[in-house]
Chain A
């Protein structure tokens, strides 16, 4: 009987090389005699396929077939070749009888032949009927990734964000009409051919408010010119994944974001220019996706340690009084807000060397940044301030804005 079942699989594979996995059905009457030459095999076709891509680490394929069953025991053979089906994950579920008959259908046992990519279900049926069954399995080499296309408005206040899901089918299996589910949003009905990559537009968000930020943080982005104490000033678009920013339906998955900017009025689409690309990290609802645009040359920040005063408290215990001066010029024709971040451990190590202690500090009132440190973006060892910079005048001359950060690093030894 087992040899016969294997033969069923082989016949099927010979006749339908491309359509694997295959399912063959043979009634027990026909298979009792292993040497029988005359046998009948039915080949139930796939009625429906769903590809579930909601799990980040695995792809679940569910296929629905109508399997004719005789009363009593039936053997249903399922085989596959050159595909990475994990046989231990195969789940066989009877959805019901195709003719609405109330037949009792049970999976009696599953048999796994040696050295073959196949298995055989022994199915018991109370009546002859056609059973609608769902076969689910994890399939390797059918993977997904996400990509985004962001087109900024001319004034860089809004974005049109298109979210794409890319399905790479290297599973050696063809899915003619499949329902594809990304884990959020609608289900797409798409054919996915052999070795094909299918890019599907999942959603398009129009008029998404975007914030363009300029920031400096010597610990993260270093100096542009160390000799002149000029800091590097990276630029980012910041998207907030919430309803107020016309997003927030679901988390934004990790993916590459290609950024463009609209051309002049009248040729907004035709004149689109490429701004660059960045990896957008996984962004939960309410989270911020920061997209790096490059380093600006039009906002110049000079950072100087204006004061560094070692004050011994007693014995080997000391405090360190520090003033950091920031001289900032905005050569752009529009006003800009600069985020100035200072990592206090970096600052301590820069001035005093690494004592390997966490930083205890006291911020003094003569720190000039308006509003003090931003509580949302500051933490125990890093302070972030915002500096409002006016636009350069008509001749392109920038006003020099000077801010000072005055703090005492306490209780060091």
Chain B
């Protein structure tokens, strides 16, 4: 169902505005067409700002206008009428939401002139969404990659917006009520008026801020060469980033359309292996690392949340599928990390070589004199309980690299309580209980990294963090 805008003439125009909905049975109306429509779509919330312009001829005096939106997801409290021309001679005298027609309103426009004026109707609708996704293709040597960013606009709003100028907002906004919920109730039944007013105010502020950037928006569709890919103009505004799609688009209800938002060719990348059980689980994972900046042939836009699909050229003209994952918003200048999961060509095993207990402390307690019944002999014994000790473990971190390239590894291990980490691995402290060390393993070679962990238990524990000590690890007894 479409939104319908009617200019009520003849019979209804001559009667009072209060009567036109039910007092008369014979109506005559004209239907001014949309001249232009602009959609500003947010991806953090299910909200789209629709701004449509139409040309209407007014007569002097009262001019009733009807606006209806049956079977769409428009927030009735957000519908606004503004006059883009002759604004000083036109004003909305009152707005009526008829009680028996929930998705309709009437504006009574008082005009001091006779003639055409361009009006703008704005409202929020639900059901139009956009999302980002990325296709990344690494070269065979995993030194560089091509990254294509896409935006996909999906229209389930119930309305067809033909030849619409489309703008996409990257960033998070705050709404106090969901547009889809508001769309289902008449404006008079919106329960929480304070909340609704607040939401309206916020949306007005937002709309104004978006409005300011409208003039710098998309280019004229007529200028676009026939074979060219549409440009997507990106600009920062306040805390948001706005993508304006060149020209206009028609996305019928139920359809979605995907367009390339940027392309990075030959982006330098680095491969790193990481063992971070808190982040990646108990496995060594392989990562592609790059930076969203100009040196990396990116950095023209922050990268909105989206699915990344990762391929690698297989050297035979084809692709190998590596993985897909959802990436978080990446600001300009920040790192992009793509987790490829475990690599079967790198074996990463931790061997516990020895365990021992040392520095045992006993607590003396109670009576410690014993006598056998009927025998005149006493025995004295120190009655005591273990109350403090050190657990000592010797480990061997074994790494075998069967790839054709040297690999860089970073290992993080966390320990509870009062712990000493002893090695010659030159580790650093990542946090109070986590030790981090790095190493490089040449192609086709193995490495065994020895370290020792001493955990002070019971009364031996004096604090709750890990201490790093540079020392040779004792060889197994």
A and B associate in one complex: yes
- Asked whether B391 lies within 8 Å of A358 as measured between CB atoms, the reply is yes
Q: What 0/1 pattern do residues 345 to 387 of B give for CB contact below 8 A with A? A: 1010001111111001010100000000000000000111110
* Residue among B257, B316, B324, B344 making CB contact with A284, cutoff 8 Å: B344
**B89 at the A interface (CB under 8 A):** no
User: Are the C-beta atoms of A314 and B227 separated by less than 8 Å?
Assistant: no
Stretch at the interface among A53-61, A214-222, A263-271, A388-396: A53-61
B352 touches A114 (CB 8 A): no
Determine whether the beta carbon of B227 is less than 8 Å from that of A125. Answer: yes
Contact call B384/A107, Cβ cutoff below 8 A: no
Q: From A107, A112, A134, give the contact of B229 (CB < 8 A).
A: A107
Task: Tell whether, in the assembled complex, residue A251 and residue B135 are in contact, meaning their CB atoms are under 8 Å apart.
Answer: no
CA distance A64 to B135 in the complex (A): 19
Residue-wise, chain A 102-116 has the 8 Å CB interface mask toward B (1 for contact) of 001111111111110
In the complex, are the beta carbons of B324 and A89 less than 8 A apart?
yes
CB-nearest residue of chain B to A282: B344
- The answer to the question of B319 belonging to the interface, with a C-beta cut-off of 8 Å to chain A, is yes
A109–B344 contact, CB under 8 A?
no
CA A21 to CA B320, docked complex, whole Å = 20
Of the listed stretches B197-205, B248-256, B331-339, name the one at the interface; the rest are far from the partner chain. B248-256
Residue of B nearest to A3 (CB): B252
How far is B318's CA from A380's CA once the two chains are assembled, in angstroms?
A: 48
| CA distance in complex: A107, B350 (Å) | 49
Encoded as 1 (CB less than 8 Å from any A CB) or 0, chain B from 292 to 332 comes to: 00000000000000010101001011111110100000000
A136/B260 contact (C-beta < 8 A), A71-B227, A73-B227, A314-B362 known: no
Q: B29-50 vs A: 1/0 string, CB under 8 Å? A: 0000000000000000000000
Q: CB of A287 within 8 A of chain B? A: yes
Judged by a CB distance under 8 angstroms, whether A273 is at the interface is no
- B355 to A380, Cβ gap below 8 A? yes
* Most chain A CB inside 10 Å of its own CB: which residue of B322, B356, B364: B356
Q: B393 contacts which chain A residues (CB < 8 A)?
A: 380
Encode contact with A along B198-214: 1 for CB under 8 Å, 0 otherwise. Answer: 00000000000000000
Provide the bound-state CA to CA distance between A82 and B465, in Å: 58
A49–B321 CA distance with the chains assembled, in angstroms: 15
Q: Mark A286-300, 1 if CB is under 8 A from B, else 0.
A: 110000000000000
> Is B389 part of the contact surface with A, judged by Cβ < 8 Å?
yes
Would B360 and A411 count as touching, CB distance under 8 A?
Answer: yes
Which residues of chain B from 264 to 295 have any CB-CB distance to chain A below 8 Å in the complex?
none
- Residues of A with C-beta under 8 A to B307: 88
| In the complex, chain B residues whose CB is within 8 Å of the CB of A329 | none
B226 CB within 8 Å of chain A: yes
Closest CB-CB distance, A406 to chain B, in whole Å? 15
Q: How far is the CA of A109 from the CA of B230 in the complex (A)?
A: 8
Assess whether A72 is in contact with B352, with CB atoms less than 8 Å apart. Answer: no
Are B384 and A314 in contact, CB atoms less than 8 angstroms apart?
yes
Q: Which of A's residues lie within 8 Å of B, judged by CB?
A: 2, 50, 52, 54-55, 58, 60, 62, 71-73, 88-89, 91, 95, 104-115, 124-126, 134, 136, 138, 181, 187, 251, 282, 284-287, 314-317, 357-360, 362, 379-381, 410-411, 413
For A110, the chain B residues whose CB sits under 8 A away are 257-259
The main secondary structure of chain B at its interface with chain A is: strand
CB contact list, B114-167 vs A, under 8 A = 133, 135, 154
Q: Tell me whether B400 and A113 are in contact (CB under 8 A).
A: no
State the CA gap A379–B394 with chains docked (Å).
Answer: 10
Assuming A62-B318, A187-B316, A284-B345, is B227 touching A91 (CB within 8 A)? Answer: no
Q: Chain B residue with minimal CB distance to A127?
A: B227
Whether B382 and A315, one on each chain, are in contact in the complex, defined by CB atoms closer than 8 angstroms, is yes
Q: Is B477 an interface residue (CB 8 A)?
A: yes
How many residues on chain B are close to A (CB under 8 Å)? 54
Complex Cα spacing A114 to B257, Å: 11
Q: Give the complex CA separation of A411 and B228 in angstroms.
A: 78
Which one of B229, B351, B362 contacts A315 once the chains associate, using CB atoms below 8 Å?
B362
Q: Is the CB of A284 within 8 A of B353?
A: no
Residues of chain B whose beta carbon lies under 8 Å from any beta carbon of chain A: 133, 135, 154, 226-230, 252-260, 307, 309, 311, 314, 316-322, 324, 344-345, 347, 351-357, 360, 362, 364, 382-386, 389, 391, 393-394, 400, 402, 477
| CB-defined contacts of A114 to chain B, threshold 8 Å | 253-255
Q: Are B133 and A88 in contact (CB under 8 A)?
A: yes
Please tell me if the beta carbons of B255 and A285 are within 8 angstroms of each other in the complex: no
Query: In the complex, which of the residues B258, B322, B382, B400 has the most CB atoms of chain A within 10 Å of its own CB atom?
Result: B258
Cα distance A286–B154 in the bound complex, in angstroms: 51
- Once bound together, how far apart are the Cα atoms of A71 and B255, in whole Å? 26
Distance A71 CA – B227 CA, assembled complex (angstroms): 7
| Bound form: Cα–Cα A362–B256 in Å | 71
Contact A50 B318 (CB under 8 A): yes
Query: Among the listed B255, B356, B364, B402, which residue makes an inter-chain contact with A2, where contact means beta carbons less than 8 Å apart?
Result: B255
Q: Chain A residues near B255 (CB, 8 Å)?
A: 2, 111-114
Q: Which chain B residues border A181 with CB–CB below 8 Å?
A: 314
Minimum distance in angstroms from B45 CB to a CB of chain A:
22
Q: Is the Cβ of B318 less than 8 Å from the Cβ of A109?
A: no
Residues of B within 8 A of A125 (CB): 227
Chain B residues, CB < 8 A from A379: 351-353
Q: Are B351 and A106 in contact (CB under 8 A)?
A: no
Closest beta carbon of chain A to B260's beta carbon, Å: 7
Q: Is the CB of A317 within 8 A of B362?
A: yes
8 closest Cβ pairs, A-B complex: A315-B384, A114-B254, A124-B227, A72-B226, A60-B321, A411-B357, A380-B352, A110-B258
The answer to whether A115 touches B320 (Cβ under 8 A) is no
Give min CB distance, A386 to chain B, whole Å. 18
- Whether the pair B357, A380 counts as a contact (CB closer than 8 A) is no
Contact between chains at B309 and A251 (CB < 8 Å)? no
In the complex the two chains form, is B317's CB within 8 Å of A95's CB? yes
A97 vs B226: C-alpha distance in the bound complex, in angstroms?
Answer: 19
A287, B400: Cα distance in complex, Å: 10
Supply 7 A–B pairs (Cβ within 8 Å), ascending by A. A72-B227, A107-B229, A284-B347, A286-B347, A359-B355, A379-B351, A411-B389
